[in-house]
Structure 1
Amino acid sequence: MTRRLLAASLTLSLTAPALAGGAAAPAGAQVQPATPAALLSALKEAGYRVTMNPTEADGEPSMTIVSGEHKISVWLSGCKNNVCSRVTASTSWDYSDQDDALDTEVVNDWNGNYYTQAYIYEGAYYLDSTMPVRGGYTKATLKAWMTDYLEDVKSFEGELPES
């Protein structure tokens, strides 16, 4: 009797995930390795125009994404043995010819309400977002992160002073 209960319990626990979400994982749900090549491929597959930048011998890999009129710098960091732990997207708006246009209140208000990080550096506004990829990522998550980041880029740009 105990063996039958154990067997029935084991069968039920093994089939529960299939009942809850189906036997097959949804498209884009497979965990990808966090290598520069895999990240580049996933971003291209998501429909972005991406180019890998030349890497210096002791530097971290980086790439550039062009989306509409925005040029996004993407850095991979914490890379060891060609596997990275973070991917960071960054966009900037140059106000170096209008130093009086730099307003820390815009940045402080933004940082109090959004997950992306805004800051002022050397005459420009910047907006950054970092996604942890240590242990892998899914293509769907990477695409959603970039979509959300680009939405924030458009919103942040709308908050900046007229140039």
Structure 2
Amino acid sequence: MGQGVSAERVNPGPSGVIPTPRWGTSGRVIPQSSSVRHTAGMKRSLLPLSLAAFSLSALAPAHAATAEVIDAKPASLVKVLGDEGYKPELRPGDDKTQPSIVLKANGDSVYLYFSGCKNGLCTRVTASNGFEFPKDKSGLAGKLASWNSQWYSQAYEDKDGVYLDASYMLTGSYTKANFVAWLGAYLDELDKFADELY
């Protein structure tokens, strides 16, 4: 044993095996009872770290499964809509107009207008649908204000009729699942709006 320490100074453990001596900073053997207290203290201080490591490892799979990120090209959105069973028609636009998509949903035409397009990429798409004015327009402003205070989509009155719009940002790309969820929410609101308008 080193530094003149004999095995007799270390008490055998419950199994009768003499534990390996632990050396302190002064070169002396640390008594077994002290090392047990020291180890127990370490276990208590390591517990929060162990729990933190476990909780982070539990979150890791959520970040590992990533969805496909889709670019902000109108043609890419046409593919997403086609994959979901819609029959989108792309209108490419020209020098004066931005691209747009027309599709049928629940028997109605829904228009998706792109904006901020440059070099084939667009910053936003807006779903829009128009309605004829209700026969009684006297409470229309109040209905629109009430709708706009409660729903994500926005209703407004124009000279041609009443419209319901909702915008979706394409800047920085998007996922198919997120866009499809947004469009589904808009279509649900479109049905509710028609019921409230008439």
* Percent of aligned pairs sharing the same letter: 33
Residue 101 to residue 124, structure 1, CA distance change in 2 (3 Å): farther
Paired residue type of 1:61: P
Task: Give the TM-score of the pair, scaled to structure 2.
Answer: 0.66
- Structure 1's 55 and 123: CA in aligned 2 closer, same or farther, altered over 3 A? closer
- Write the letter of the residue equivalent to 1:152: E
Aligned mates of 1:22, 1:54 — CA distance in 2: 36
Higher strand share: 1
Structure 1 residue 123: Cα displacement: 3.9
Partner residue in 2 for 1:20? 61
Greater relative contact order (Cα < 8 A, sep 6+): 1
- Residue 55 of structure 1 deviates from its aligned partner by 1.4
Query: Does the 8 Å CA contact 1:102/1:125 hold for their aligned counterparts?
Result: no
Contact 2:68 2:175 in 1 (8 A): yes
* Cα separation, 1, equivalents of 2:180 and 2:163: 21
Cα offset, 1:68, TM superposition: 1.5
2:142 to 84, 102, 105: 105
Q: How much has 1:16 moved relative to structure 2?
A: 4.3
1:122 is aligned with what amino acid?
K
User: How many aligned residue pairs are there?
Assistant: 144
Gaps of 5+ in 2: 1-52
Q: CA deviation at 1:99?
A: 6.9
Aligned to 1:137: 174
Following TM superposition, the consecutive aligned residue runs of length 4 or more in structure 1 with deviations greater than 6 angstroms are none
Alpha-carbon offset, residue 24 of structure 1: 3.5
* Equivalent residues of 2:92, 2:98 under 8 A apart: no
Q: Deviations over 1:93-135 (max 9, x none)?
A: 1228x47467111101100100100001114111000011101
Please tell me whether residue 50 in structure 1 is matched to residue 88 in structure 2: yes
1:122 correspondence with 2:159 = yes
Gaps of at least 5 residues in structure 1 are 1-11
Paired residue type of 1:127: L
Based on CA coordinates, which of the two structures has the bigger radius of gyration? 2
- 1:52 CA drift (Å): 0.7
Which residue of 33, 54, 63 maps to 2:71? Answer: 33
